[in-house]
Amino acid sequence: VAGTGALNIRLNSRLNSHPKVKQLLVNPASGDPGTAIGAAAYAVKQQGIEVKPHHGMALGPEFTTDDCVNACSIHREKPEWEILEDPHAKAAELLANGQIVAWFRGRMEFGPRALGNRSILASPTQMGILDAINHQVKFREHWRPFSPSILDTVAKEMLPDNFQDEFMCLSSPVSKKWQEKYPVIVYRDGTTRAQVVKKQTSPDFHRLLSAFYERTGHGLLINATLSRPGEALVCTPEDAVNMFFGTDLNYLIMDNVLVTKRAERDRW
């Protein structure tokens, strides 16, 4: 399934549950940007070459620690920054303590979804987290829930077998037990738009989720796009620092660099 209509997660889910559909493949970059993939796949198919399933959407540019340090050094706000020995452990610590973390590592995702390389992350159990992200970071309606990124081992318990989606293309039913445990990730109809994170295809993000799981016992995180309303997904370190200072975010991890505004500025 492709095209703008394939961004409709509820439509995709109805197709996925249809008895005549054996397997549903949704292009994660549906819409105009994804036409390049469709054109290439069509051309390859016309030549009799098998089109193999994709195993990740991290197809954009990647930046070094030096690039990230330079973005901090030239920014007019002169942010505080430090090099981290273990950014995953530091992020897990901040998240476990109830902080919201902007996460910028690896190649940028292709498509509209943040899949762990350009993300705003938070603990799904932190009281008031929904209002904090909606009001102070994303500037949107207070009632809107967020999508979770879930370790594949945990997702097997939370989601039906045919909804183990890596790209947030489906609206998956969630059992009552998990709805009560993580209400901030569930829509009013009892569904969620989840990303199932596998070590084979997303090793870096899987490492962060695993570190958070080891620290808290929760194998998932709230995952929102690293962007402001009306703006595209952050691409470069300069974009990330600009976005950071355009919101009430207090912690940004870019590659191995922790960026802050000032110590203990959290207001919620």
Q: Could you report the per-residue pLDDT of 54-70, keeping only the tens digit for each?
A: 778 999 999 999 999 99
Residue 19 lies in a domain: yes
Question: How far is Cα 167 from Cα 194, in angstroms, rounded to an integer?
Answer: 8
Terminal CA-CA length for the chain: 42
Residue 149 lies in a domain: yes
Per-residue tokens: 133: 């992200």
> Do residue 42 and residue 146 come from a single domain?
no
Q: Taking residues 5-17, what's their average pLDDT? A: 92
For position 69, which CATH number holds?
A: 3.90.870.20
Query: Dihedral angle at the C-alpha atoms of 234, 236, 240, 246, nearest 10 degrees?
Result: -70
The DSSP secondary-structure symbol of 108 reads P
pLDDT at 172 over 50: yes
Question: How far is Cα 100 from Cα 250, in angstroms, rounded to an integer?
Answer: 7
Mean pLDDT (the chain) is 92
> Do residue 107 and residue 154 come from a single domain?
yes
Residue 92 lies in a domain: yes
pLDDT band at 138 (very low <50, low <70, confident <90, very high): confident
> Do residue 90 and residue 200 come from a single domain?
yes
The pLDDT score that the predictor gives to residue 100 is: 97
Per-residue tokens: 47: 């030549």
Range of the domain at 33: 4-46
List, for residues 228-239, the tens digit of each pLDDT value. Answer: 988 999 999 999
Alpha helix segments (H runs only) across the chain: 9-17, 35-46, 65-74, 87-96, 129-133, 152-158, 176-181, 203-216, 237-245
pLDDT band at 53 (very low <50, low <70, confident <90, very high): confident
Question: How far is Cα 16 from Cα 39, in angstroms, rounded to an integer?
Answer: 24
Question: How far is Cα 199 from Cα 172, in angstroms, rounded to an integer?
Answer: 21
Residue 55 lies in a domain: no
Q: Phi first, then psi: give them for residue 173, nearest 5 degrees.
A: -65, 145
> Do residue 84 and residue 116 come from a single domain?
yes
The pLDDT score that the predictor gives to residue 27 is: 85
Question: How far is Cα 20 from Cα 89, in angstroms, rounded to an integer?
Answer: 45
